C-alpha cells in the first residue's frame, strides 16, 4: 500500500505543534516531516515522534532570511559561515529526530548576485552539509522551487538541482523532488523523477493552483504516483500543502490514492 507522510508545518495547524503528531496519527499517516523544527525544544519533538511511532521523512537546514523574502544562506557569497552555523544547529536536531533526509534550500539570491557565483557557493556548501550529515547517516538533499512562487530562486528545475549534485560529486547528496513545484514549472513529472530516481531522497506534493489538497487542482496524482513507483520509488509521498479548510476535513484524497 502507498505510504504518505504529513508535513505538520503546513498541516494540522488547528493544533499546537506538539499536538499535531496525534492528529496526524489519527488521520492515518505513517510518518511526519517538519519544515523548520527549531522553535520547539528538540527533546519535546523527539518524545512526541516516538510516542506515536512515527518515522520522519525530512526537515530543512535553517535557511536564514529566505522565508521572509531574503536570499537565504546557502548560495550567497559571504554567508558561508552563517550556513555552517545553520548546519551545526540542524545536526543537533537531526541526531535526535533521525529524519530520512535533510534538505538544503537554495534560496533566491539571483536578484543580487550572478548565477555562477551563487552556484559555486551552493556547491561548496552542499559538500559541507553532505559530509556533516553523512557522519550521522542522514542523506542530504536539495530542492528545486518554482519561480512563480519564488522569483529569483537559484534552483527552479530538477536539472538545475542535479547540476549542483554533479558539481559537488558527493555520495551523500541528492535531491528532494517536489511534485507541486515541478508541476508549476511544467516538467514531465514521471519522466524527470524516473530519470533521477536513484538520487531522490524525498518526494513532496500539493495540487495546483493554490498548493492545496490533491483533487482541488489539475495535477493527475494517480498517474504521477504510480509512474514514480514503477520507476522504483518505495518511500513515502509527503503531503506538503495548504489545507483549504480544517486539515481533517480535506483528507479524502488518502483513500483515493492509497493504492
Model pLDDT for residues 90-133, shown as the tens digit of each residue = 999 999 999 999 999 999 999 899 999 999 999 999 999 999 99
pTM listed for this prediction: 0.97
Give the per-residue pLDDT at 1.
85
Give the per-residue pLDDT at 185.
98
Model pLDDT for residues 123-167, shown as the tens digit of each residue = 999 999 999 999 999 999 999 999 999 999 999 999 999 999 999
Give the per-residue pLDDT at 69.
87
pLDDT band at residue 191 using 50, 70 and 90 as cut-offs = very high
Model pLDDT for residues 7-46, shown as the tens digit of each residue = 999 999 999 999 999 999 999 999 999 999 999 999 999 9
Q: What is the mean pLDDT of residues 235-245?
A: 98
Q: Catalytic one among 143, 176, 187, 213?
A: 143
176 in active site: no
Spatial contact of 257 and 221, defined as CB atoms under 8 Å apart: yes
Model pLDDT for residues 35-75, shown as the tens digit of each residue = 999 999 999 999 999 999 999 999 999 999 998 989 999 99
Q: What is the mean pLDDT of residues 189-212?
A: 98
**What count of residues does the chain have?**
259
Domains located in the chain, CATH noted: 4-257 (3.20.20.150)
Which residues are CB-contacts of 252 (< 8 A; sequence separation ≥ 6)?
Answer: 215
pLDDT band at residue 259 using 50, 70 and 90 as cut-offs = confident
What percentage of residues in the chain have a pLDDT greater than 90?
Answer: 97
> How far apart are the C-alpha atoms of 225 and 229, rounded to whole Å?
6
240 in active site: yes
- Cis peptide before 209, with omega less than 30 degrees from 0? yes
Cell, residue 165: 549534485
Spatial contact of 242 and 181, defined as CB atoms under 8 Å apart: no
Q: What is the mean pLDDT of residues 226-249?
A: 98
Give the per-residue pLDDT at 111.
87
Across the chain, what does the average pLDDT equal? 97
Amino acid at each position: 500500500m502507498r505510504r504518505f507522510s504529513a508535513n505538520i508545518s503546513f498541516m494540522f495547524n488547528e493544533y499546537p505543534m506538539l499536538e499535531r503528531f496525534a492528529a496526524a496519527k489519527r488521520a492515518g499517516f505513517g510518518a511526519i516531516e517538519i519544515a523548520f523544527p527549531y522553535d520547539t525544544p528538540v527533546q519535546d519533538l523527539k518524545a512526541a515522534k516516538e510516542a506515536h511511532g512515527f518515522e520522519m521523512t525530512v526537515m530543512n537546514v535553517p535557511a536564514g532570511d529566505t522565508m521572509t523574502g531574503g536570499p537565504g544562506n546557502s548560495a550567497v557569497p559571504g554567508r558561508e559561515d552563517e550556513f555552517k552555523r545553520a548546519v551545526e544547529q540542524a545536526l543537533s536536531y537531526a541526531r535526535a529526530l533521525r529524519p530520512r533526509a535533510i534538505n538544503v534550500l537554495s534560496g533566491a539570491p539571483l536578484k543580487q548576485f550572478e548565477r555562477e557565483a551563487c552556484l559555486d557557493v551552493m556547491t561548496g556548501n552542499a559538500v559541507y552539509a553532505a559530509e556533516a550529515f553523512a557522519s550521522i547517516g542522514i542523506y542530504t538533499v536539495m530542492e528545486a522551487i518554482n519561480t512563480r512562487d519564488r522569483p529569483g530562486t537559484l534552483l527552479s528545475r530538477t536539472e538545475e538541482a542535479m547540476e549542483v549534485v554533479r558539481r559537488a560529486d558527493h555520495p551523500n547528496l541528492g535531491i528532494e523532488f517536489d511534485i507541486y513545484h515541478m508541476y508549476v514549472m511544467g516538467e514531465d513529472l514521471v519522466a524527470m523523477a524516473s530519470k533521477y530516481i536513484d538520487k531522490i531522497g524525498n518526494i513532496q506534493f500539493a495540487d495546483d493552483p493554490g498548493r492545496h489538497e490533491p483533487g482541488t487542482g489539475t495535477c493527475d496524482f494517480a498517474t504521477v504516483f504510480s509512474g514514480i513507483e514503477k520507476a522504483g520509488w518505495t518511500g513515502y509521498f509527503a503531503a506538503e500543502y495548504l489545507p483549504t479548510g480544517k486539515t481533517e476535513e480535506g483528507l479524502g484524497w488518502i483513500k483515493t490514492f492509497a493504492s
